C-alpha cells in the first residue's frame, strides 16, 4: 500500500493576454487541485503551432504563462510544470497511437468534423491534433484529467486510442486515465456581457495596475437612472459581472443599498473594482517581477522537463518493448 497521491494532468494552451475568466475558470481551480493530487501541468506549445506561425509569439506566451501560473500559486518544486516540446517523445507516442487508430475515428473529432462541414482546408497538424493530445494525456501515467464538459471528447478519444493500443498488443501497457468533469466551473462574463474572451476584446486582464483595472470596470455600460432612485443589479450587465467576481454576501449587500436609492451606478462600479483588486491586486507586482526574470523562468521549465521526462521515459520504454522498436 502506498500513500502516493493520484496524478492529475492539466494542459494549458499558450494564448494572448490572460484575463479574469482564465483565472477564475481555469487557473484557480487547477491550483487548488495541488492539495489533493500530484499535479502535472504542461504548456501545449506543439499544439499552438497548428495556428500560430510566429516564434516570438510562442516564446512570449510561454514565459507569460509560466510567470502567471507560478505567481498564482503553482508549486513547481512539489508538482510539475513543463512545456510539451521539452518531452519530444510525446510525438513518438503519438505515432504509435496513430498506427492503431482508424481514419474514421479521427474524422469524428471536433476540428476535423467542423472543417468537413464547412468544406474548409485544414493542415495535417490540425487533423492529427487529437492523436497528439492523446499522447499528452497518456504519457504521464495520469489518473485523472480534469476537463470542462466540452473537452470530455478529448479524454474519451485518448482512452479509446489507449484501448486500441492495449488490444493490439494484447496487454495493459498504457494506463487509461479518467476524465474528471468540472461541472461547477463558472463562465465569467466580459465587459460587453458576452463570455469574457480575448477574441471579443471584452476582457479584464488578470494583471493590471489598480488604475487600469478601475478604468476597465468604469467602462461597463449602465443605464441613466438618477443617483437618488432605487435600482437593482438583477439582470443588468454590471450585476452579471458582479455576481461572477464577488461573493454572494458582497452581492447581496450592494444590491440592498442600491434598492434603497441614493447610490449611483458609478459607485457600484467603484465597489466592483475594489473587490477585484482585493482578489487579485496582490499578484500584479510579483508577476511583473517574475516575468522580467527569464533566466528564472527557464530554470523552472528545465526542472519541469527533467521530472516530466523521467515519468515519460518509463511509459515509452514499455510501449517500445511492446511494439518491437526496443
Ligand atoms: P482560452 O485561452 O480562451 O482558451 O481559455 C483558457 C481556459 O480558460 C479555458 O479552457 C477555460 O477553462 C478558461 N476560460 C476562458 N474564458 C473564460 C471565461 N470567460 N469564464 C470562465 N473560464 C474561462
Q: What is the pLDDT of residues 146-163, one digit of tens each?
A: 998 778 888 999 999 999
Q: Is the CB of 188 under 6 A from ligand 1?
A: yes
> What pLDDT was estimated at residue 1?
47
pLDDT digits (tens, 9 = 90+) for 114-142: 877 888 888 999 999 999 999 999 999 99
Residue 21 Cβ inside 6 Å of ligand 1? The answer reads yes
Residue with CA nearest ligand 1 atom 18:
21
Verify whether ligand 1 is closer than 6 Å to residue 243 (CB atom).
no
Please give the share of the chain, as a percent, with pLDDT higher than 70: 99
> Residue 236: how many CB atoms within 10 A of its CB?
18
Nearest CA residue ID for atom 15, ligand 1: 22
pLDDT tens by residue, 244-293: 889 999 999 999 999 999 999 999 999 999 999 999 999 999 999 999 99
Lookup: cell for 271: 465597489
Whether the CB of 196 sits within 6 Å of ligand 1? yes
Closest C-alpha residue for ligand 1 atom 22: 25
Calculate how far, in angstroms, residue 151's C-alpha sits from the geometric centre of ligand 1: 12
With a cut of 90, say whether residue 310 has pLDDT above it: yes
Please tell me what DSSP assigns to residue 179: E
> Phi and psi at residue 155, in whole multiples of 5°?
-70, -40
- Cβ 65 vs Cβ 82: under 8 Å: no
The Å distance, Cα 187 to ligand 1 centre, comes to: 8
Pocket probe mutation, ligand 1, options 23, 24, 26, max atoms within 8 Å of Cβ: 26
What is the atom index within ligand 1 of the atom nearest the CA of 15? 2
H or E, element range at 168 = helix 152-168
Amino acid at each position: 500500500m502506498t500513500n502516493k497521491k493520484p496524478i492529475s494532468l492539466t494542459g494549458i494552451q499558450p494564448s494572448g493576454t490572460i484575463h479574469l475568466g482564465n483565472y477564475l475558470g481555469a487557473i484557480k481551480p487547477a491550483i487548488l487541485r495541488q492539495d489533493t493530487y500530484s499535479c502535472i501541468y504542461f504548456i501545449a506549445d506543439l499544439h499552438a503551432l497548428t495556428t500560430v506561425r510566429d516564434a516570438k509569439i510562442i516564446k512570449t506566451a510561454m514565459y507569460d504563462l509560466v510567470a502567471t501560473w507560478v505567481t498564482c500559486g503553482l508549486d513547481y518544486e512539489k508538482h510539475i510544470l513543463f512545456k510539451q516540446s521539452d518531452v519530444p517523445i510525446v510525438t513518438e507516442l503519438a505515432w504509435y497511437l496513430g498506427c492503431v487508430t482508424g481514419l474514421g475515428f479521427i474524422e469524428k473529432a471536433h476540428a476535423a468534423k467542423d472543417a468537413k462541414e464547412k468544406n474548409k482546408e485544414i493542415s495535417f497538424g490540425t487533423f492529427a491534433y487529437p492523436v497528439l493530445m492523446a499522447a499528452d494525456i497518456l504519457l504521464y501515467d495520469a489518473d485523472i484529467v480534469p476537463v470542462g464538459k466540452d473537452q470530455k471528447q478529448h479524454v474519451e478519444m485518448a482512452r479509446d486510442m489507449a484501448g486500441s493500443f492495449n488490444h493490439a498488443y494484447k496487454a495493459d501497457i498504457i494506463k487509461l486515465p479518467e476524465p474528471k468533469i468540472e461541472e461547477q466551473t463558472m463562465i465569467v462574463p466580459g465587459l460587453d456581457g458576452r463570455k469574457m474572451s480575448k477574441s471579443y476584446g471584452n476582457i479584464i486582464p488578470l494583471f493590471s495596475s489598480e488604475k487600469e483595472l478601475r478604468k476597465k470596470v468604469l467602462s461597463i455600460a449602465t443605464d441613466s437612472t438618477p443617483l437618488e432612485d432605487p435600482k437593482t443589479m438583477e439582470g443588468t450587465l454590471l450585476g452579471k459581472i458582479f455576481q461572477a467576481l464577488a461573493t454572494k454576501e458582497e452581492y447581496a449587500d450592494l444590491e440592498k443599498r442600491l434598492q434603497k436609492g441614493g447610490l449611483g451606478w458609478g459607485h457600484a462600479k467603484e465597489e466592483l473594482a475594489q473587490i477585484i483588486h482585493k482578489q487579485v491586486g496582490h499578484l500584479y507586482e510579483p508577476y511583473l517581477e517574475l516575468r522580467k526574470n527569464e533566466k528564472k523562468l527557464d530554470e523552472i521549465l528545465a526542472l519541469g522537463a527533467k521530472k516530466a521526462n523521467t515519468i515519460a521515459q518509463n511509459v515509452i520504454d514499455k510501449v517500445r518493448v511492446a511494439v518491437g522498436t526496443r
